[in-house]
Amino acid sequence: MFDNVAARYDFLNHTLSFGIDIYWRHQALKLINFSMNPRLLDLATGTADVALMAVKKGARKVVGIDPSQGMIAHGKTKILQKGLDSTIYLIEGEGEHLPLHDKSVDAATVAFGIRNASDISKSLAELARVLTDTGVIVILEFSRPTLPVFKQLYLFYFKTILPWIGSIVSPDKKAYHYLPASVLDFPERNDFVRLMQDAGFSDVRYFSMTVGIVSVYCGIKI
Ligand SMILES: C[S@@+](CC[C@H](N)C(=O)[O-])C[C@H]1O[C@@H](n2cnc3c(N)ncnc32)[C@H](O)[C@@H]1O
Render pLDDT for 182-216 as a digit per residue (tens, 0 to 9). 999 999 999 999 999 999 999 999 999 999 999 99
Q: Using CA atoms, how far apart are residues 30 and 92, in angstroms rounded to an integer?
A: 27
pLDDT digits (tens, 9 = 90+) for 18-32: 899 999 999 999 999
Decide if 114 is inside a domain.
yes
Decide if 7 is inside a domain.
yes
**How many A from CA of 35 to the centre of ligand 1?**
27
Decide if 139 is inside a domain.
yes
Contact 42, 65 (CB under 8 A): yes
For the entire predicted model, the pTM comes to 0.94
Q: Locate the ligand 1 atom nearest the alpha carbon of residue 109 and give its number.
A: 6
Q: Using CA atoms, how far apart are residues 206 and 26, in angstroms rounded to an integer?
A: 15
Decide if 156 is inside a domain.
no
Q: At a CB cut-off of 8 Å and minimum separation 6, what does 127 contact? A: 41, 43, 95, 98, 108, 110, 137, 199
Contact 101, 83 (CB under 8 A): no
pLDDT digits (tens, 9 = 90+) for 4-17: 889 888 988 888 88
For 216, the 3-state DSSP assignment is: strand
Q: Locate the ligand 1 atom nearest the alpha carbon of residue 110 and give its number.
A: 6
Decide if 170 is inside a domain.
no
CATH number for the domain that contains residue 200: 3.40.50.150
**How many A from CA of 95 to the centre of ligand 1?**
9
Least confident of 35-39, 63-67, 115-119, 160-164: 160-164
Decide if 175 is inside a domain.
no
Which range of residues forms the domain containing residue 193? 2-145+188-221
In the chain, how many domains are there? 1
Q: Which sign does the torsion angle of CA 164, 169, 175, 181 carry?
A: negative
For 76, the 3-state DSSP assignment is: helix
pLDDT digits (tens, 9 = 90+) for 89-148: 999 999 999 999 999 999 999 999 999 999 999 999 999 999 999 999 999 999 999 899
Q: Using CA atoms, how far apart are residues 222 and 219, in angstroms rounded to an integer?
A: 9
Q: How high is the pLDDT of residue 110?
A: 98
Task: Give yes or no for residue 170 having a pLDDT over 90.
Answer: no
Decide if 162 is inside a domain.
no
Decide if 151 is inside a domain.
no
